[in-house]
């Protein structure tokens, strides 16, 4: 169900009109639906009921404490890539023992912190990292549960910047050499080999690449078992795509059913790390039209959100649906590029969009709940937008708009020359 829908001629977030949110909190602003977040998570949980599993929400997609708390309360685990994300999970009430730590560049202090709080597993991406974890775990005298992130060399058929499972990508350990690395890992005093991990990319709209990766990782699990290494869990990463425009990614149910079918009677706990498929369509970016500009050849709607708030169109040429919050008669529609105030030609949120708008109107940029706020910056010294979570008829401010003062916090000029 869509929780950002028109009712009586205007767009709502659940039971709250977006116009109310704009007048209360200003624009630009991120708005999340608690119900949508929950629905997407529960779809995974229900599809996996009866199967030993752990759904580790990928914190990088949207790391707001309120988002993490909603998911933690539903029993989610978490996939983190930094000590900062781990802190967020713990502060939001998430459990360390349901948290997996991914990423190619874990620092020693981050590994130590994760060991001290007792995370579920490290997804190890290189032999150097394996040795680093062994050294720190030995010093602390605690066991470190690890899985190796293997690179199955499959084409995820997605945008090259978010494809990770090919040999040419920086991620993981080649599946051909994995057995040797596992054998060495098994000899290390403080390493406890528990799983096999892979993540082949993001915004996948087909099931086939996931199943190819699964075939290859299951073959590895069997291989390891023959050499006396028992694998307890298989982590298939995240990556299930969402509909932004006219993509038709498999529904969560179908995706899970296909995985379970292939897992057959392998006695493995299934770990997944979904981010986008939980958060993207649970959030929108609300923005106001400042000016309408006509260059003769092209019309522009200059809005108050920019690439610093939402970088996906500029970075990946991502297409996000943009609608007018208050419905206007289509007879006044024109074709606009929706652009922000940042001094870059790449600063656009949408191109060639047919809209009936005038200055002062509100726009809703859909599917902005994942990789929206988390990728935002202060470029052009723009304070970051507030985040609001709607729960039925109530809007809650879950992150305040940054102030001009906060922009310069911690900065100082050089001391005056004596």
For the annotated catalytic residues, the residue numbers are 343
Q: In the stretch 238-257, what mask flags binding to ligand LLP with x, by CB under 6 A?
A: xxx-----------------
Interface with ligand LLP, residue 58, by CB under 6 A:
yes
- Which range touches ligand LLP (CB under 6 A), out of 89-97, 198-206, 259-267, 293-301? 198-206
Binding segment (CB under 6 A) for ligand LLP, from list 27-35, 86-94, 261-269, 274-282: 274-282
Q: How far is the CB of 411 from ligand LLP (least distance, A)?
A: 28
- In DSSP notation, 134-162 reads HHHHHHHT--EEEEEEEE------S-GGG
The residue (of 336 and 371) whose beta carbon lies closer to ligand LLP is 371
Buried b (16+ CB within 10 A) or exposed e, 145-174: bbbbbbbbbbebebeeebbbbbeebebbbe
CA separation for the pair 60, 217 (Å, rounded) = 25
Among 15-23, 180-188, 235-243, 346-354, which window interacts with ligand LLP (CB under 6 A)?
A: 235-243
Closest CB to ligand LLP among residues 237, 386: 237
Q: Which window, 1-9, 65-73, 232-240, 360-368, contacts ligand LLP (CB under 6 A)?
A: 232-240
Q: 162: which 2 tokens? A: 């978010």
Q: Which residues neighbour 261 within 8 Å (Cβ) at sequence distance 6 or greater?
A: none
Measured distance CA(72)–CA(403) in Å, rounded = 30
Q: How many residues bind ligand LLP (CB under 6 A)?
A: 20
Longest dimension (CA), the chain: 77
Indicate whether 209 belongs to the interface with ligand LLP (CB under 6 A).
no
Shortest CB 296 distance to ligand LLP, Å: 34
Q: Which of 363, 282, 377 is nearest to 323 (CA)?
A: 363
For the bound state, the minimum distance from the C-beta of residue 282 to ligand LLP, rounded and expressed in Å, comes to 12
The binder of ligand LLP chosen from 153, 273, 304, 387 (CB under 6 A): 273
Q: Which stretch binds ligand LLP (CB under 6 A): 22-30, 275-283, 285-293, 300-308?
A: 275-283
Which tokens belong to 262? 């292939």
Torsion angle defined by CA atoms of residues 154, 120, 170 and 349, in that order, rounded to the nearest 10 degrees: 90
Please count the residues of the chain.
418
Region 384-413 residues binding ligand LLP, contact defined as CB under 6 A: none
Q: Locate all alpha helices (DSSP H) within 26-170, ordered by sequence.
A: 34-47, 65-73, 83-91, 108-117, 127-140
Nearest distance from C-beta of residue 225 to ligand LLP, angstroms = 24
Nearer to ligand LLP, 82 or 277 (CB): 277
> Which of the residues 292 through 351 are near ligand LLP (CB under 6 A)?
312, 316
CB of 31 to ligand LLP, least distance (A): 18
CB-based contact 170:144 (threshold 8 Å):
no
Residue nearer to ligand LLP on the CB measure, 207 or 325: 207
Measured CA to CA, the distance from residue 314 to residue 350 in angstroms comes to 9
The interface region with ligand LLP, picked from 197-205, 262-270, 324-332, 339-347 by CB under 6 A, is: 197-205
Q: Which of 371, 386, 395, 398 binds ligand LLP (CB under 6 A)?
A: 371
Q: Does 61 bind ligand LLP (CB under 6 A)?
A: yes
Kindly state the smallest distance separating residue 235's Cβ from ligand LLP, in Å: 9
Q: How many CA atoms lie within 13 A of 374 on its CB side?
A: 21
The full 3-state SS of 280-331, as one line of letters, equals HHHEEEEEEEEEEEECCCCEEEEECCCCCCCCHHHHHCCCCCEEECECCCHH
Interface residue with ligand LLP, options 3, 199, 366, 384 (CB under 6 A): 199
**What are residue 63's DSSP bridge partners?**
none
Q: What are phi and psi of 410, to 5 degrees?
A: 85, -10
102 binds ligand LLP (CB under 6 A): yes
Q: Which of 152, 195, 249, 274 binds ligand LLP (CB under 6 A)?
A: 274
Q: How far is the CB of 48 from ligand LLP (least distance, A)?
A: 15
Read off φ and ψ for residue 127, nearest 5 degrees: -65, -35
Exactly one of 28, 172, 275, 283 binds ligand LLP (CB under 6 A); which one? 275
Do residues 205 and 150 touch, judged by C-beta distance below 8 A?
no
How many secondary structure helices (H) and strands (E) does the chain include? 12, 21
Binding to ligand LLP in span 164-193, by CB under 6 A? none
Chain residues in the site for ligand LLP (CB under 6 A): 58, 61, 79, 102, 162, 199, 202-203, 237-240, 273-277, 312, 316, 371
């Amino acid at each position: 169900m869509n929780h950002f829908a028109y009712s009586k001629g205007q767009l709502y977030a659940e039971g709250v009109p977006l116009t109310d949110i704009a007048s209360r909190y200003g624009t630009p602003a991120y708005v999340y639906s608690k119900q949508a977040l929950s629905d997407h998570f529960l779809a995974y949980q229900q599809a996996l009921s009866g199967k030993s599993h752990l759904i580790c929400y990928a914190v990088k997609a949207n790391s707001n404490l309120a988002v993490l708390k909603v998911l933690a309360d539903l029993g989610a685990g978490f996939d983190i890539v930094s000590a900062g994300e781990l802190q967020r999970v713990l502060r939001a009430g998430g459990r360390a023992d349901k948290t997996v730590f991914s990423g190619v560049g874990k620092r020693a202090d981050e590994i130590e912190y994760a060991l001290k709080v007792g995370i579920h597993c490290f997804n190890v991406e290189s032999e150097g990292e394996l040795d680093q974890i062994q050294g720190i775990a030995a010093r602390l005298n605690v066991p470190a549960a690890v899985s190796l992130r293997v690179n199955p060399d499959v084409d995820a058929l997605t945008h090259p910047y978010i494809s990770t499972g090919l040999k040419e990508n920086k991620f993981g350990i080649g599946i051909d050499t994995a057995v040797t690395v596992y054998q060495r890992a098994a000899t290390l005093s403080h390493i406890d080999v528990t799983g096999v991990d892979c993540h082949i990319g993001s915004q996948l709209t087909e099931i086939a690449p996931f199943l190819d990766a699964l075939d290859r990782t299951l073959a590895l699990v069997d291989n390891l078992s023959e050499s006396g290494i028992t694998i307890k869990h298989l982590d298939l990463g995240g990556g299930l795509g969402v509909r932004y425009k006219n993509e038709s990614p498999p529904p969560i149910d179908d995706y899970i059913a296909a995985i379970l079918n292939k897992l057959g009677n392998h006695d493995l706990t299934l770990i997944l790390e979904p981010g986008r498929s939980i958060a993207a369509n649970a959030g929108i970016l609300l923005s106001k039209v400042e000016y309408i500009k006509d260059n003769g050849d092209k019309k522009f709607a200059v809005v108050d959100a920019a690439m610093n708030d939402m970088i996906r169109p500029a970075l990946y040429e991502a297409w996000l649906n943009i609608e007018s919050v208050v419905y206007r008669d289509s007879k006044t529609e024109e074709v606009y590029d929706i652009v922000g105030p940042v001094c870059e030609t790449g600063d656009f949120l949408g191109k060639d969009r047919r809209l009936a708008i005038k200055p002062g109107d509100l726009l809703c940029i859909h599917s902005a709940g994942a990789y929206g706020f988390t990728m935002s910056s202060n470029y052009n010294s723009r304070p970051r937008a507030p985040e609001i979570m709607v729960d039925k008829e109530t809007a809650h401010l879950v992150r305040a708009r940054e102030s001009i003062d906060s922009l310069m916090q911690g900065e100082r000029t050089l001391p005056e020359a004596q």
